[in-house]
C-alpha cells in the first residue's frame, strides 16, 4: 500500500483520534512524519 523506501508521510487530523495514532505509529516505524491539524494547542 505504501512505498516504505522513502519513509516520509503527511498525516492530517493529527491532533486527535485516528490521525494522532497513525502519526505515532508511523514515527515508531521509522517514517519522517509531517502533521497538519486545526487544533494546534492539542499537538504534542
**pLDDT (tens digit per residue) in 1-44:** 666 577 999 999 999 999 999 999 999 999 999 999 988 888 77
pLDDT attached to residue 1: 60
pLDDT of residue 43: 76
Position 2 in a domain: no
Is the separation of the CB atoms in 19 and 37 below 8 Å? yes
Q: Confirm whether 32 is domain-assigned.
A: yes
pLDDT at position 4 is 59
Quote the cell numbers at residue 20. Answer: 494522532
Backbone angles phi, psi at 12, to 5 degrees: -100, 155
- Structural domain contains residue 24: yes
Can you give the pLDDT at residue 3?
62
Domain extent at residue 12: 8-42
Assess if residue 3 is contained within a domain.
no
**Angle of CA points 22, 9, 12, to nearest 5°:** 60
The number of distinct structural domains making up the chain is 1
Amino acid at each position: 500500500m505504501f512505498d516504505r523506501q522513502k519513509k516520509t508521510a503527511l498525516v492530517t487530523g493529527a491532533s486527535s483520534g485516528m490521525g494522532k495514532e497513525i502519526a505515532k505509529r508511523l514515527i515508531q516505524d521509522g517514517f519522517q512524519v509531517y502533521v497538519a491539524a486545526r487544533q494546534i494547542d492539542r499537538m504534542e
